[in-house]
Amino acid sequence: MRPSFFNIIIHKDDTFPDLHGVCAGFESRQWRKDQLVDYLFEYLPEFALTYSEFENLTGENVVAKMRQVVMSIYQSEKFKNRGEFGELLLHAIIRETYKTIPAISKIYYKDGPNEPVKGFDAVHVVVTDDTLELWLGEVKFYNNISQAISHVIEELKILEDAGVEIVCCGACIDYHKIDLAVGNPTNMYFIVEDMRKANKVIQP
């Protein structure tokens, strides 16, 4: 088990789902960016390799496998604009914070170094007292918050066009004065009722 790296600066367990805000930390008047890079590097193998490849890592093949991992992510002229770093960061945060178990390596399904893989950015499993929870993660990593929100809306619209019904709490929309860009307003009664009738509920 790796020692904890991130500082939890926000933790609200009275909401559903609960909310965590984490920070890499600040030491000697500097952000711990170098330490963050080292920490994330330790997660690269399990992030990018299949379970069998990761389990078969040895002192003899670890260098070759790490080269395979790095080339699968960064052998691209546009790597700075790609999402793999954000996906690796999400992977590390939920592994540490929620003790999740990676289920699928998205990077494994890359057809080439310049080909992004469509789908969820993280597919993890969480073991509870008597069940297994499937967690599907989506991450956006931008310097510009407006651009990030716009791209999330675009992906939600793709889901909606594919037949996924997206609904939002009307009371929340009114309270926060939100102009709804995708989906339809409803109320918590219908949301809870739909969840109650569903065979499975996936917690984001």
Residue-wise pLDDT tens digits, 127-159: 888 888 888 888 877 777 788 778 888 888 888
Helix axis angle, 62-74 to 33-48, nearest 10°: 100
User: Between these two residues, 96 and 55, which has the higher pLDDT value?
Assistant: 96
Mean pLDDT estimate for the chain: 80
Tokens matching residue 201:
């509920």
107 close to 48: Cβ distance less than 8 angstroms: yes
Residue range 64-78, pLDDT digits in tens: 777 776 666 655 555
Question: What is the pLDDT, as a whole number, of residue 93?
Answer: 92
| pLDDT at site 35 | 92
d(CA 120, CA 106): 8
Sheet bearing 132-137, strands edge to edge: 101-104, 122-127, 132-137
Q: Extract the tokens encoding 95.
A: 């592994």
Q: What is the rounded distance in angstroms from the CA atom of residue 26 to the CA atom of residue 28?
A: 7
User: Where is mean pLDDT largest: 40-54, 69-83, 115-129?
Assistant: 40-54
Query: How much of the chain, in percent, has pLDDT values that exceed 70?
Result: 82
Residues 147 and 153: beta-carbon distance below 8 Å: no
pLDDT at residue 92, rounded to an integer: 92
Give pLDDT, residue 17: 63
Angle at the Cα of 127 from the Cα atoms of 66 and 40, rounded to 5 degrees: 25
Q: Are the C-beta atoms of 172 and 153 separated by less than 8 Å?
A: no
Which tops the pLDDT comparison, 112 or 168?
A: 168
Instruction: Specify the pTM.
Output: 0.64
Nearest CA-CA partner of 104 in 55, 50, 44? 50
Amino acid code (one letter) for 90: L
Task: Give the per-residue pLDDT at 107.
Answer: 59
SS3 197: helix
* Rounded-to-integer distance, Cα 51 and Cα 102, Å: 9
Strands 26-27 and 30-31: antiparallel
pLDDT at 185: 92
Q: Residue 58's Cα: distance from chain center in Å?
A: 28
Average pLDDT in the 1-27 region?
Answer: 79
Residues in the chain: 204
Average pLDDT rounded to a whole number, residues 145-174: 86
